[in-house]
Amino acid sequence: MTVAVTPRELTQRRAPNLRELDLLMLVTVALCCLGLVMAVSVRGSQVDVGPLQVMRQQGAKLLFGLVAFFFCAVMPMRWLRKLAMPAFAVGVVACLLPLLSSGVNGAQRWIRYGGYQFQPVEPARFALILAMSWLLARAGRRVATFWHGFAPAMGCAVLLAGALVLQPDNGNAMIVLGLAGALALVAGVRVVNFLPVVALAVVGFVSIALQHGYVRDRVTDFLSPDPRGQVGLGLIAVGSGGLFGRGLGQGWMKMGFVPEAHNDFVFAIVAEEFGYVGSLFVLASFGVFGYVCYRLVLQVRDPFLRNVVCGYSVMICMQAALNLLVVSGWAPAKGIDLPFVSTGGTSLVFCLAAVGLIGNAARADRAGTFSTAAEVEAG
pLDDT (tens digit per residue) in 88-129: 999 999 998 888 766 555 556 777 776 667 788 999 999 999
* Predicted structure pTM score: 0.88
| Per-residue pLDDT tens over the stretch 317-351 | 999 999 999 888 888 777 788 999 998 888 999 99
Bond from prior residue into 168 cis (ω within 30 degrees of 0):
yes
C-alpha 379/C-alpha 20 separation (Å) is 33
- 75: DSSP letter: S
* Residuewise pLDDT in 10s, the chain (379 residues): 444 445 444 444 444 445 889 999 999 999 999 999 999 888 766 656 677 888 888 899 999 999 999 999 999 998 888 899 999 999 999 998 888 766 555 556 777 776 667 788 999 999 999 999 999 999 888 998 888 889 999 999 999 998 998 888 888 888 999 999 999 999 999 988 888 777 877 777 677 666 666 666 676 666 666 667 778 888 888 888 888 888 887 887 887 788 777 888 899 999 999 999 999 999 999 999 999 999 999 999 999 999 999 999 999 999 999 999 988 888 877 778 899 999 888 899 999 999 999 999 999 988 876 767 555 554 4
Amino acid 349 reads V
Question: How many CB atoms lie under 10 A from the CB of residue 188?
Answer: 16
Name the nearest CA neighbour of 42 among 252, 242, 236.
Answer: 252
Dihedral sign for Cα 147, 148, 152, 153, please: negative
Helices (H), the chain: 7-14, 18-43, 51-74, 77-96, 121-139, 151-165, 170-187, 195-209, 213-223, 230-240, 266-299, 303-327, 345-367, 372-378
